[in-house]
Structure 1
Amino acid sequence: MVSGYPTPPGHSGSVTSPATATRLYENGKVVAESFPCEDAQAQLDRHPGAVLWLDLLHPEPADLAAVAATFSLHPLAVEDALADHERPKLDRYPSHIFLNVYGVDIAADSAAGITKTELSVFVTDRALITVRKSASDTTRLVERWDANADLSEGNGVAFLLYGLLDVVVDGHYAATQRLDAAMDSVEDALLEEGGAPRPVRLHAMDLRKTIAALRRAIAPMPELVSQAMRADLKLVGEHLMPYYRDVEDHAKHTVDQVEHLRDRIEGLLQADLAEQGNVLNDVTRKLAAWAAIVAVPTAVTGYFGQNLPYPGYDRFWGWIFSTALIVLMSGGLYISLKRRGWL
């Protein structure tokens, strides 16, 4: 147990926290799974060459403290694992490595925005401990490990970390592709003559917010993977190094995609704003032209004081006629301007 980290009342240093999943890999095979947490250390002792995956879903502080006592996890790392909305990072401690990453998902129509799943990861010599802050599907993670089980032989826990990072980065790239497709659907509407309707502009603003949220989760990933490959960590061997470099390359490509999406949506919004400005200038020019035409007779009649009598000038029906004419002309002008979208 790490000095300074208290053992919770009722615990003797063994793992008693309920886990959502446990798996033991040895020589490319799963030798045990779905066993109780309290048996984790015993399983490792029975299989000296095996590595453990222990998954915890939103554990209580006391439960995570018991895990920390068994696997010698640093109290600062445990504190970060319990806190929400930590930034993506990789921290090195004497007995383990701590990572915080985000899995992301985008709704098919992007209307619901981005869904981020915060994942804290402890990497010890023989165990990968994942702490999920919210419910999420781990099926893809297990499938990736099973599909690449041959990589586990001789690579220890680095094999598990590779699979996890690969799945996370693949999810990031899939999210950028879905956003790119969603942006295609609004691009033509944003570039319509006269400017886009307000609902389309609001949808574009929603896409921009989603891209910003996605960027915060994705931007640190290339540096994070690069740190995991550092030689002084002695985590990634020569056999797995090309696979980690491949994940790093995918992470860099995904960051480039996010930057492209951000530039693209900003360009589209600026183009729509410019189009609205062009329409406003055109309307202003037309109104100024009509004002100039009306100003000439108004100035002449005003200068000479030509208040001419109109038909029915001294009759009641004349007042009715002039009033109706004003109402009809004003109403007709209002309808015309409304149809043009000026009002």
Structure 2
Amino acid sequence: MSETPTRTRLYAHGHVIAEDFPVAETAARLRENTEAVAWIDLLDPDQAELQPLADDFDLHPLAVEDALHEHERPKLDRYDGHLFMNIYAVRYHHEGSSVEANKIEISAFVTDRALITVHKQAGDLDRLVARWDADTGLAAAGGLNFLVYGLLDTVVDSQQSAARALDEAMDAAEDSLLEEGGAPRAVRMYGFAIRKALSYLRRAVGPMADVVRETVQADIGLGAEQLRPYYRDVEDHAQQAAELTEHSITRINELLDADLAEQSNVLNEVTRKLAAWAAIIAVPTALTGYFGQNLPYPGYDDTSGFVVSSVLIVGSASGLWVFLRKRGWL
């Protein structure tokens, strides 16, 4: 297996003092600079690549195991000496009738002086780094806590953006789904794609507010009080994303149900018309059958009989047509 791509940074007083150094040097650099904190990111490492960090920072074996396995639920676990969180950033993709919400699973170890992130799929680290670099003043006050806050803020922003985009995507389909006679099949398939993406997103967004709240309660340390209002803001955004996702799921289900009901109404209308026409056709059939029997009847074997039968056929069929028309069956 090729060497795992890594990113490393060393912060002191809110500023980057070293970057892209070997992961193996992290512990030594932290010992040399007692006021520094570190960020280490690894992309899809294996046990052999993660174990040296586990040894250097005394990471719990169960947390290491969770970091190596995919599809862990969003959560925050507390161990002696560090926290372990599993969260999902979201990338939204929309092209034509194709709608996708792709999740990027991130496992993070939060020690007293290092934030170690494990990306299980490739993600946009530049956005995370830009978030940290955007406020050096707050970074200086928050230390490691600021790095954790920046990570959560970036992840929640991606989830909120995806939730808003999916909600807006429904606007394009709503009018068609509510049209008289039901929507075209392509529009229905578009609605099903939106519902699938929302269900996929809900599993990432739903627990996020609890993860942020538990992180604040864990009290990482340096800068906790200064950052508490910022964490509350992230928690609020996570709650908004969860509520918007639930609202959107309810909305798309109602739209698809309304379309299905309209299709059922159309089918009932067609069935009713077929039944009405069958009744109209049945009357002349019965009359012609009667007059076609070899039995004496008024006008039998006479021109007047043919006229009477024709008038009865046309009159009864027309009368039934008028009656069904007034009832709205035709």
Would you say same fold, with TM above 0.5?
A: yes
Q: Deviations over 1:55-96 (max 9, x none)?
A: 001112111111101110000000000001000000000010
Aligned equivalent of 1:46: 32
1:275 equivalent to 2:262? Answer yes
Aligned equivalent of 2:314: none
1:37 equivalent to 2:23? Answer yes
| Cα distance change on mapping 1:236 and 1:286 into 2, 3 Å | farther
- Give the 3-state SS of the residue equivalent to 1:229 in structure 2: helix
Q: Distance in 2 between matches of 1:39 and 1:233?
A: 24
- Give the 3-state SS of the residue equivalent to 2:194 in structure 1: helix
Q: CA offset at residue 156 of structure 1?
A: 2.8
Structure with the larger RCO, 1 or 2 (CA within 8 Å, 6+ apart): 2
Matched residues, number? 291
Q: CA offset at residue 108 of structure 1?
A: 2.9
Q: Distance in 2 between matches of 1:232 and 1:181?
A: 37
Unaligned runs of 5+ in 2: 295-330
More helix by proportion, 1 or 2?
Answer: 2
- Give the 3-state SS of the residue equivalent to 2:118 in structure 1: strand
Q: CA offset at residue 231 of structure 1?
A: 5.4
Q: Distance in 1 between matches of 2:220 and 2:115?
A: 15
Percent same amino acid at aligned positions? Answer: 57
Normalised to the residue count of structure 2, the TM-score between the two structures is 0.85
Q: Distance in 2 between matches of 1:190 and 1:37?
A: 54
Q: Give structure 1 regions of 4+ aligned residues with deviation exceeding 6 angstroms.
A: none
Q: Distance in 2 between matches of 1:216 and 1:60?
A: 26
Residues 143 and 223 in structure 2, CA contact (< 8 A), matched pair in contact too: no
Q: Distance in 2 between matches of 1:155 and 1:184?
A: 41
Q: Distance in 2 between matches of 1:65 and 1:144?
A: 29
Residues 91 and 98 in structure 1, CA contact (< 8 A), matched pair in contact too: yes
Aligned equivalent of 2:44: 58
Aligned equivalent of 1:201: 188
1:132 equivalent to 2:130? Answer no
Residues 228 and 236 in structure 1, CA contact (< 8 A), matched pair in contact too: no
Instruction: Report the RMSD for the aligned CA atoms in angstroms.
Output: 1.6
| Cα distance change on mapping 1:111 and 1:90 into 2, 3 Å | same
Q: Distance in 2 between matches of 1:216 and 1:238?
A: 30
Unaligned runs of 5+ in 1: 1-16, 308-343
Residues 4 and 44 in structure 2, CA contact (< 8 A), matched pair in contact too: no
Normalised to the residue count of structure 1, the TM-score between the two structures is 0.81
Aligned equivalent of 1:75: 61
Aligned equivalent of 1:98: 84
Q: Distance in 1 between matches of 2:111 and 2:126?
A: 23
Q: Deviations over 1:29-61 (max 9, x none)?
A: 111111111111121112111110000011121
Aligned equivalent of 1:317: none
Aligned equivalent of 1:225: 212
1:160 equivalent to 2:147? Answer yes
- Give the 3-state SS of the residue equivalent to 2:35 in structure 1: coil
Q: Deviations over 1:134-156 (max 9, x none)?
A: 11110110001001221222433
Q: Distance in 1 between matches of 2:77 and 2:20?
A: 29
Q: CA offset at residue 236 of structure 1?
A: 6.2
